[in-house]
Amino acid sequence: MTAALVVPAPAPVTVPVAGRADRFPVHRIYCVGRNYAAHAREMGKDPDKEPPFFFLKPADAVVTDGRDVHYPPGTANYHHEVELVVAIGRAGHDIAPEAALAHVWGYAVGLDMTRRDLQLAARDLGRPWDFGKGFDESAPIGPIHPVSDIGHLAIGAITLEVNGAMRQMADLAEMIWNVPDTIAYLSRYYRLVPGDLIFTGTPAGVAAVIPGDAMRAMVTGLPALEVKVLPPLS
């Protein structure tokens, strides 16, 4: 006898694959905190003293296929964070740094949208970051580009413009924990599986956006991700 679902099943969450009709299914979204020294400093922290740390967003926080984001509830300080996103294609745990890139299926440009006021209040009280980081529509992401097409991304510009004005500009090579080290560290604590996404942290220059603003996020080697901020959902 087949069991019936007592409420409708949630829709699978998928991200488009560049240049193909195929889609990448999302399992989890891991995010690295403070992975660029200048951003750690602008958050009031010393970048040299801390090992990497992570937080998660729900899979269904992704926003894809050219959709825009609504200004979220509960905040008066809604921030952009441009990030390189790693898409995991091979399972593994306790992965050695030298073996880590073999677990990468592809790369994308992402935005770790943040309710900064809620995140900082939680941080300063020693509380979880979920309300500041893991809300609806908090993970816009562009199409995933397969490693088989573009190779690996380790150097090159990462930028974010708002309404045509540069807000964030750095180089991927400035990451404190590079992609192999990040995968190796994370996989000591979680079993990574195909479908996991890793947001690899943002450079300095994070700032607020408001309804009407247009964000343009770029990583060298990938097409721009353009996302507008819409008025709040009523």
The 17-56 site mask, x for binding Mn ion (CB under 5 A), equals ----------------------------------------
Stretch (H or E) spanning 120 = helix 116-125
The CA-to-CA distance between both ends of the chain, in Å, stands at: 42
Using only C-alpha atoms, the chain has a radius of gyration, in whole angstroms, of 17
Tell me if 110 contacts Mn ion by CB under 5 A. no
Closer by beta carbon to Mn ion, 17 or else 222: 222
168 or 202: whose CB is closer to Mn ion?
A: 202
> How many angstroms separate the CA atoms of 220 and 234, rounded?
37
Exposure b/e, 172-185, CB count within 10 A at least 16 = b? bebbbbbbbebbbb
CB of 83 to Mn ion, least distance (A): 6
Minimum distance from residue 200 beta carbon to Mn ion (Å)? 8
Nearer to Mn ion, 17 or 158 (CB): 158
137 near Mn ion, judged by CB under 5 A: no
Residues 192, 198: Cα–Cα separation, whole Å = 10
The residues, ordered by sequence, that sit 6+ positions from 68 with a Cβ below 8 Å of its Cβ are 227, 228, 229, 230
Least CB distance from residue 212 to Mn ion, whole Å? 23
Q: Binder to Mn ion among 64, 81, 119, 132 (CB under 5 A)?
A: 81
Distance in Å, CB of 33 to Mn ion, minimum:
7
Instruction: Tell me the closest approach of the beta carbon of residue 98 to Mn ion, in angstroms.
Output: 26
| Site for Mn ion contains 161 (CB under 5 A) | no
Instruction: Mark residue 151 as left, alpha or beta (left: phi above 0; alpha: psi -120 to 50; beta: remaining).
Output: left
Determine which helix (DSSP H) or strand (DSSP E) holds 195, and give its type and residue range. none
Report the residue from 119, 187, 202, 209 that binds Mn ion according to the rule CB under 5 A: 202
Binding site for Mn ion (CB under 5 A): 81, 112, 202
